[in-house]
Chain A
């Protein structure tokens, strides 16, 4: 090694831990984590922005709690997997670009460009996902649109990368991890000093799995209630008014006065038929109690017992059929949270309530007093709080 300081070359990295067998095995699990996060993420996106061909299911009631909990945990587990995976191929960053230009050089350049897209989209997904989990919004783009679009870019570039590397991946996975002979690395300098690694390849893999497992354990408490005390990095302890955490507070929504106004009325509209109800009138209607989880896109969830009026009964008050689509407006005037649409299958479902109480007590203002939507299996952002009107969509 020359004593003059210079940028490293690919051959300078001499650890036998940077081996295709390590890369392929960590990459396999990283790919699985991304695929799971992708599928559960697309499901979540369709729950909020449902395409015409997709009917969102009304059960099991914990459906979204489970899919979104898995989404966030798969992403969390992917952090150590991605970091170790990138560590194992870091020397490739310093590989020489082929010069002068040739056909092989073009292929190599294209492959490197696709890897750049892969790395940047993968890091983007994990960083923005983690930020969204913790309500940290330092960017100037819409989280949902950005995270969704880049999800397709990430999964697409992963698939292309697997296609390019498939022969290497297959050979690397077949070769035993602790076999003594290192795989031939064509461009690595045979005369370079081969470092004595701190760990065996097998030990590095086990350490990586442990890191992924521990990252999951440390954050899972926000979705898995019995892990609450173990999860030192859970976003929520599970405490909150009336035993339920809050995602959007009355102060953020700007409803601290309007929600408590005695002049509040629930307005029901079906074409020209219109009715207004006070909270007392809602309380006088047949009351139903349901145990339903509230589960948010951030991955946290909490079970609660809700009491209120069946959505179908409210539709009937303005002569609308039980399977009406309802447009719901909130006192919260922010577009994202201020309105939602309840598809017909949810209005008709006997688990969908306009809740007046939670866990036996009158709804706290933080949970949506005077009344809120609670439907089974749906993303929390659609469980509109501080409801002011229900309109039948023609």
Chain B
């Protein structure tokens, strides 16, 4: 390990431990009445990712690598990363969970229509890209 890396380690860990301690103190200050709710969402996120989202992605990956023809794999992988993550970002929009009747200026775009059009566009792009790659392979 070079001295630079060692110095960096000391600096980063000192700053990090300080920030962690301050964060813990702030959490303490929020008060016990909110700890349970906070804890649920803190644990819920990591459980939802590690035990639901990630296994689904892994299983889809295995299925994809066995079933998809070689020329379609790259286009599908690109679309899963781009459109899949964008769909995760879009969940609160697609569900319009925060919409209120008294405020029509909030969540006022056609999100589901946009998402369906987007999905159709990327699906078409996968087909076209796969077709082009297949021609190149032959």
Binding site for B on A (CB under 8 A): 8, 13, 15, 76, 79-80, 83-84, 86-87, 90, 93, 116-117, 119-121, 123-124, 127-128, 130-131, 133-142, 145-146, 148-164, 166-167, 170, 195-196, 198-199, 203-204, 207-208, 210-211, 214-215, 218-219, 232-237, 239-241, 245-252
Which among B1, B49, B53, B77 has the greatest number of chain A C-beta atoms within 10 A? B49
CB distance from A48 to the nearest CB of B (A): 15
List the count of A-B residue pairs having beta carbons below 8 Å apart: 237
Given contacts A124-B45, A251-B102, 8 further A-B contacts (CB under 8 A): A80-B82, A119-B49, A156-B16, A160-B13, A163-B8, A232-B115, A239-B108, A248-B103
Given contacts A139-B41, A152-B22, contact A87 B57 (CB under 8 A): yes
Closest to B62 in A: A195
* Least distance between A284 CB and chain B CB atoms (Å): 32
B76 in the interface (beta carbon within 8 A): yes
Residue B12 at the chain A interface, CB threshold 8 Å: yes
Q: Which chain A residues border B114 with CB–CB below 8 Å?
A: 232-233
Partner of A252, one of B46, B95, B100, B109: B100
Q: Give complex CA distance A170, B4 in Å.
A: 11
| CB within 8 Å of A: which B54-92 residues | 54, 57-58, 61, 64-65, 73-74, 76-78, 81-82, 85-86, 88-92
- B16, A163: Cβ atoms closer than 8 Å: yes
Chain B residues contacting A218 (CB-CB under 8 Å) are 86, 89-90
B residues less than 8 Å from A76 (CB atoms): 89
Contact B92 A131 (CB under 8 A): yes
- Binary CB contact string for chain B from 12 to 31 against chain A (1 if under 8 A, 0 otherwise): 11011111111110110110
Is A156 touching B18 in the complex (CB atoms < 8 A)?
A: yes
Interface residue SS majority, chain B: helix
Which of A80, A246, A250 touches B81 (beta carbons < 8 Å)?
A80
B69 to chain A minimum Cβ distance, whole angstroms, is 11
Hey, which chain B residues are within 8 Å of A237, CB to CB?
Answer: 105, 108-109
A134 touches B38 (CB 8 A): no
CA distance A159 to B13 in the complex (A): 6
